[in-house]
């Protein structure tokens, strides 16, 4: 088994209160059924309840413990070098709407934390985009000019406040960071207190419209006038978002430190390979977190190597001690760097709303998405006009399918704690060996579109290299677009 530093878990999730909402059973009626209890789903739910709508939220696993809860959790409208790019490619009006949406989202989170008294380690911080390459100073200056034109309070500094040399940085003042899992638990409590119904361990697997929408699980169904699919990638939609987005992952590590003051803010580099940095804490004290560069889901045969490279980089540049935590997280990129949010213009699916493709910036964009969907349902209009339009075209060559990176010619080559894919006749079999030497076999065909999965040797999961579905080593779905588990096979 691959040995790596740090506990294989997310520090935010491990230090958030446990939730225990019931499992859906029977039939529930409501105005709006929301699939997914991440930041989009719960923001939408609470806003709709305040607008007088009845709401049911279905969560396949547990509140706050999936993609949002495992994010870097920067509450910021500073999304690397984005505003110069948006002005040049989408125009000033869209760039300004993007800026306003994310500023509104940041203010909304701050207001929710205060009025709901959510204990989530909320801390105001500056956010910095930095470079170690003197040749990229002009990129920093160009972004500063664009951001200033869009109303941001920014400044260019000669060096980022980091304990290693940089060649310049752009500071966005008055941003923030928090524990996202604790924030979602707080939102869920507010949803429940206002009459919203939340069901955990209730994966939506069926979507029908026999008049009203029917969203089915293994145990029951929800009947609603509107459906909001707020999962990482849409598990159902009238538009094929799995082919309009690119699934990608990054690795995260959290280290003990005696010098948290050495990292004064939140940071992301524009260099290649890029790194992201912030501070945090768990039950045992302060942490410094670092993130490695993105890579396409299921298209790397050695994710463990990425953790080792990230640890080496962190120790060479930051005052850290023991590696406390490590995890992978996934998001979906879009070709124009903006999410798809709202009701697609598809006549056969009225009342069907989506939110996906957050490009690694799902805290602010996800909150803005939730506000957008809630406003669309409650009033019939969108707060930022064509921004996030869910049916805008995407280039056909953006999405890149991949092949499995885990083929082995003999199960004897699979070590304890590891997995691989073998070919048996016309079928590919996903095999993993437990620590006691026992072999376990599943179909290697993703239950979404049949692509052959790859073994993630760091998280010990089966990841789809085509559309980003992830499965536990026993085949259970972690998240979609797949809705069904990998079925067992015999060896």
**For residue 450, what are the contacts with CB-CB under 8 A and spacing of at least 6?**
none
Q: What is the pLDDT of residue 238?
A: 79
Q: 265-313: per-residue pLDDT in tens?
A: 999 999 999 999 999 999 999 999 999 999 999 999 999 999 999 999 9
Instruction: Kindly state the helix (H) or strand (E) to which residue 306 belongs, with its residue range.
Output: helix 303-317
Q: Average pLDDT over the chain, rounded to whole?
A: 95
Question: Tokens for 413?
Answer: 């080559």
Higher pLDDT, 297 or 1: 297
CATH class, range 7-71+181-244+336-379: alpha beta
pLDDT category of residue 1 using cuts at 50, 70 and 90: low
User: Please, which residues bridge with residue 11 across strands?
Assistant: none
- Give pLDDT, residue 16: 96
**DSSP-assigned letter for residue 45:** H
Least confident of 4-18, 155-169, 347-361, 470-484: 347-361
Alpha carbon of residue 315 to chain centroid: 26
Neighbours of 212 (CB within 10 A): 16
pLDDT, tens digit (0-9, with 9 covering 90-100), for 431-483 = 999 999 999 999 999 999 999 999 999 999 999 999 999 999 999 999 889 99
**C-alpha torsion angle, residues 97, 389, 65, 291 (rounded to 10):** -60
CA atoms within 13 A on the CB side of 337: 16
pLDDT in the model for residue 347: 60
What number of other Cβ atoms are within 10 A of residue 111's Cβ?
10
Count of CB atoms situated within 10 Å of the CB of 218? 12
* In the chain, % of residues over pLDDT 90: 93
CA distance 56 to 166: 49
List the one residue out of 249, 251, 330, 258 whose CA is nearest residue 288.
258
Residue-wise pLDDT for 385-437, tens only, equals: 999 999 998 888 899 999 999 999 999 999 999 999 999 988 999 999 999 99
Instruction: Choose among 335, 352, 254: nearest CA to 12.
Output: 254
pLDDT-based confidence at 382, cuts 50/70/90? Answer: very high
What is the distance between the alpha carbons of residues 125 and 73, in angstroms, rounded to a whole number?
12
Question: Do the domains at 7-71+181-244+336-379 and 411-479 have one common CATH topology?
Answer: no
Closest CA to 284 of 3, 4, 14: 14
pLDDT for position 393: 87
Q: Where are the beta strands (DSSP E) in 238-348?
A: 246-256, 266-269, 276-282, 285-291, 295-296, 323-333, 340-342
Which fold is adopted by the domain 411-479?
Answer: Rieske Iron-sulfur Protein (2.102.10)
Structure tokens at 258: 């005696």
8 A C-beta contact, residue 475 and residue 462 = yes
DSSP line for 97-118: HHHHHHHHHHHHHHHHHHHTT-
Per-residue model confidence (pLDDT) at position 348: 66
Give the DSSP letter string of 10-32. -HHHHTS----PPPP-EEEE-SE
What average pLDDT does the segment 129-135 reach?
A: 97
pLDDT of 469: 96
Instruction: Determine contact, residues 236/363, Cβ cutoff 8 Å.
Output: no
**Residues whose CB falls within 8 Å of the CB of residue 442, separated by 6 or more in sequence, listed in order:** 429, 430, 431, 462, 474, 475, 486, 487, 488, 489
Dihedral sign computed on CA atoms, order 202, 370, 479, 207: positive
Is residue 153 pLDDT above 90, yes or no? yes
Average pLDDT over residues 233-262: 92
Domain ranges of the chain: 7-71+181-244+336-379, 247-327, 411-479
Q: Classify residue 5 by burial, with Cβ atoms within 10 Å: 0-12, 13-18, 19+.
A: middle
Give 382's contacts (C-beta < 8 A, 6+ positions apart): 342, 372, 375, 376, 388
Q: What pairs with residue 112 in β-bridges?
A: none
Whether the pLDDT of residue 242 is over 80: the answer is yes
CA distance 448 to 205: 12
Q: Please report which residue ranges of 119-261 form alpha helices under DSSP H.
A: 137-149, 180-193
Q: If pLDDT is split at 50, 70 and 90, which confidence band does 211 have?
A: confident
3-state DSSP assignment of residue 34: strand
Q: What are the DSSP E strand ranges found in 21-83? A: 26-29, 32-35, 55-58, 74-75
pLDDT at site 349:
80
CA distance 67 to 14: 14
Lowest mean pLDDT among 90-94, 158-162, 234-238, 330-334: 234-238
Exposed e or buried b per residue across 248-278, where buried means at least 16 C-beta atoms within 10 angstroms of its C-beta: bbbbbbbbbbeebebbebbbbbbeeeebbbb
């Amino acid at each position: 088994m691959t040995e790596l530093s740090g506990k294989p878990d997310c520090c935010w999730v491990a230090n958030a209160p446990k939730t225990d909402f019931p499992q859906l059973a029977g039939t529930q009626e409501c105005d709006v059924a929301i699939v997914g209890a991440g930041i989009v789903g719960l923001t939408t739910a609470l806003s709709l309840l305040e607008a007088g709508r009845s709401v049911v939220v279905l969560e396949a696993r547990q509140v706050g413990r999936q993609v949002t809860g495992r994010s870097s959790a920067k509450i910021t409208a500073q999304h690397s070098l984005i505003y110069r790019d948006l002005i040049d490619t989408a125009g000033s009006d869209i760039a300004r709407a993007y800026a306003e949406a994310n500023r509104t989202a940041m203010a909304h989170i701050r207001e929710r934390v205060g009025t709901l008294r959510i204990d989530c380690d909320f801390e105001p911080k500056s956010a910095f985009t930095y470079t170690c390459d003197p040749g990229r100073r002009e990129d920093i200056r160009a972004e500063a000019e664009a951001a200033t034109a869009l109303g941001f309070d920014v400044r260019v500094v000669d060096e980022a406040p980091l304990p290693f040399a940089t060649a310049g940085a752009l500071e966005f003042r008055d941003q923030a960071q928090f524990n996202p899992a604790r924030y979602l638990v707080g939102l869920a409590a507010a949803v429940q207190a206002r009459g919203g119904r939340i069901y955990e361990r209730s994966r939506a697997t069926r979507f029908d419209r026999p008049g009203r929408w029917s969203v089915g699980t293994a145990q029951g169904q929800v009947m609603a006038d509107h459906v909001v699919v707020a999962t990482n990638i849409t598990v159902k939609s009238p538009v094929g978002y799995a082919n309009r987005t690119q699934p990608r992952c990054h690795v995260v590590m959290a280290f003990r430190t005696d010098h948290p003051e050495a990292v004064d803010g939140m940071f992301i580099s524009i260099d290649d390979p890029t790194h992201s940095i912030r501070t945090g804490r768990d039950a045992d004290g302060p942490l410094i977190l670092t993130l490695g560069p993105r890579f396409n889901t299921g298209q790397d045969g050695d994710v463990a190597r990425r953790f080792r490279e990230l640890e080496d980089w962190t120790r060479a540049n930051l005052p850290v001690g023991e590696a406390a935590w490590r995890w992978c997280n996934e998001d979906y990129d879009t070709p124009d760097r903006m999410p798809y949010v709202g009701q697609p213009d598809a006549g056969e699916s009225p009342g069907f709303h989506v939110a996906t493709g957050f490009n690694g910036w799902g805290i602010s964009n996800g909150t803005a998405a939730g506000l957008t969907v809630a406003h669309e349902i409650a009033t019939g209009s969108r707060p930022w006009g064509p921004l996030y339009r869910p049916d805008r075209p995407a280039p056909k060559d953006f999405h890149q399918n991949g092949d499995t990176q885990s083929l082995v010619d003999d199960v004897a080559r699979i070590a304890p704690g590891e997995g691989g894919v073998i070919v048996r006749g016309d079928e590919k079999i996903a095999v993993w060996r437990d620590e006691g030497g026992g072999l376990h076999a599943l179909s290697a065909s993703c239950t979404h579109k049949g692509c052959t999965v790859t073994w993630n040797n760091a998280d010990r999961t089966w990841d789809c290299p085509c559309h980003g579905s992830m499965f536990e080593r026993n085949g259970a779905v972690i998240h979609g677009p797949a809705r069904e588990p990998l079925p067992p096979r015999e060896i």
